[in-house]
Amino acid sequence: MPRLGLGVWQVPDDEAERVVGTALEAGYRSIDTAAAYGNEEGTGRAIARSGVPRAELFVTTKLWNVKTRSWDRDGVLRAFDASLGRLGLDRLDLYLIHWPRPMRDDFLTIWRTFEEIAASGRARAVGVSNFRPQDLERLAEVSALVPAVNQIELHPLFPQAELRALHARLGIATEAWSPLGQGKELLSLPAVTAVAAKHGRTAAQVVLRWHLHHGTVVIPKSVTPARIRENLDVFGFELDAADLAALDALGSGPKGRRLGPDPAEFD
């Protein structure tokens, strides 16, 4: 799995073809979409037009929360087929359960169906997103198939040390969503801009480098060509111990907090 990919949440379908096309041209090989983002078709069109061999690409999409009821096996299989159809692909690289929705009590049913999908070879890997420690432990009780990935909110203001340690123990890759803190306050904090100035890099590049140092897979989102390229250009420098200490301290500082929904409640 590439360590850095493009996330396309909030990119309208009619813009996705251009945005994903720009990223593929810039050298991205991993794209993170979801049924809920409504842009699987535009993403698929960009992939088809790019000329990049399918074997070089890593395409992730996610099963959305069906409202007001729980998933059953047939519904999951239909949703998977529908995503593949919109993407114009016959195989996914990674299929994720988007949210655990503990109040629906259906993620074990979904996971058993994901086991079937993985066994069929139509998804090279299956995983989860927004799973809490107790959700991962429930999965481990019923299934020998370890999620390849848990995609979670993670950035210097919400570093999730405990969950990362659990992933390392269980053999699950940590993938960070909103790795740039949604491009908001994080990128203008003095602790971040000082490290950026020291290295002659941008704040976004320094934050992405922090993730890579911690072994996190990142999927920054941008629709701006220059930023799409900037976010990939993070493999030519390293942070030193003092930089890492300054960034690591942000999570326990006054600004440290979650930006997105709490998986315990999100339905």
CA distance 138 to 50: 41
CA distance 47 to 109: 31
Pick the closer one to ligand NAD by CB: 86 or 120: 86
Contact residue for ligand NAD among 94, 187, 191, 196 (CB under 6 A): 187
DSSP one-letter code for 99: -
Contact residue for ligand NAD among 43, 113, 150, 222 (CB under 6 A): 222
Catalytic residue, candidates 11, 17, 30, 37: 37
**Closest CB 142 distance from ligand NAD, rounded Å:** 23
39 contacts ligand NAD (rule: CB under 6 A): no
132 contacts ligand NAD (rule: CB under 6 A): no
65 contacts ligand NAD (rule: CB under 6 A): no
64 contacts ligand NAD (rule: CB under 6 A): no
CA distance 200 to 198: 6
Q: In angstroms, what CA-CA distances link 134 with 97, 261, 267?
A: 15, 17, 17
Pick the closer one to ligand NAD by CB: 45 or 263: 263
113 contacts ligand NAD (rule: CB under 6 A): no
User: What residue type is assigned to position 137 of the chain?
Assistant: E
7 contacts ligand NAD (rule: CB under 6 A): yes
37 counts as catalytic: yes
Sign for the CA dihedral angle at 156, 178, 187, 196 comes to positive
Pick the closer one to ligand NAD by CB: 117 or 157: 157
**Closest CB 41 distance from ligand NAD, rounded Å:** 16
Pick the closer one to ligand NAD by CB: 4 or 76: 4
Decide: 102 and 55 in contact? Cβ < 8 Å. no
Contact residue for ligand NAD among 22, 61, 113, 129 (CB under 6 A): 129
219 contacts ligand NAD (rule: CB under 6 A): yes
Beta bridge partners of 128: 97, 150
Pick the closer one to ligand NAD by CB: 233 or 248: 233
- Own/partner contacts of 139-148, CB < 8 Å, gap of 24 or more, are 139/107, 139/108, 139/111, 140/170, 142/108, 142/111, 142/112, 143/108, 143/111, 143/112, 143/115, 145/111, 145/114, 145/115, 145/118, 146/170, 146/171, 146/172, 147/172, 148/1, 148/94, 148/172, 148/173
221 contacts ligand NAD (rule: CB under 6 A): yes
Contact positions vs ligand NAD (CB under 6 A): 7-9, 32, 98, 129-130, 151, 177-183, 187, 202, 204, 219-222, 227, 230-231, 260
Q: Report the catalytic residues.
A: 37
